[in-house]
Amino acid sequence: MEKGGIIQRIFLSRRLMKDIKNKADYHKVMAKIDGLMAKGSDKVSKEELNEIRMLAQGAQRYEQTQHVIEAPTTLVGMIEMRMYEMKLRQRDLAKKLNVSEAKLSLIMNGKQKPDIDFLKAVHSQLNIDAGFILEHA
């Protein structure tokens, strides 16, 4: 490909990347990425790799504005979020917090109030803000 064509394509990709304002723009960018990636990794030039990277960054920024996850408003919600982030199952979390699986299940299902030792473990092991714990326990 001639140099002018590469520069023009990069310019268009940068414009697309910056101008993702709606789903239609997003789908155009994703189609462009898919088209470039369909060539296969051994047939994509360095310029095209940079173009894919720029388009993907723009798409990611758009996705982050569209898919906002609200912060948890309960202690159980915050614990569940940390479990997800740390890839812990309830059994693993019980061990980490040094409580029985039964006790953790009762607390997580709202059938038992958490005690001080449990709250201290949640703070230290899951790095949940003490202020949040005090407000929501």
Asked if the model's pLDDT at residue 15 lies above 60, the reply is no
Fold of 75-136: 434 Repressor (Amino-terminal Domain) (1.10.260)
**What's phi and psi for 5, nearest 5 deg?**
-65, -40
What's the pLDDT at 5?
59
pTM for the structure as a whole: 0.58
Give the integer Cα–Cα distance in Å for 57 and 68.
17
Q: Which residues of 84-96 are buried (b: 16+ CB within 10 A; e: fewer)?
A: eeeebeeeebbeb
21: tokens are 């304002």
- Domain definitions of the chain by residue range: 3-66, 75-136
The predicted-structure confidence for 53-102, as pLDDT tens digits, reads as follows 888 988 888 888 888 778 899 999 999 999 999 999 999 999 999 999 99
- The end-to-end CA distance of the chain, in Å, is 63
Amino acid identity, residue 52?
Answer: I
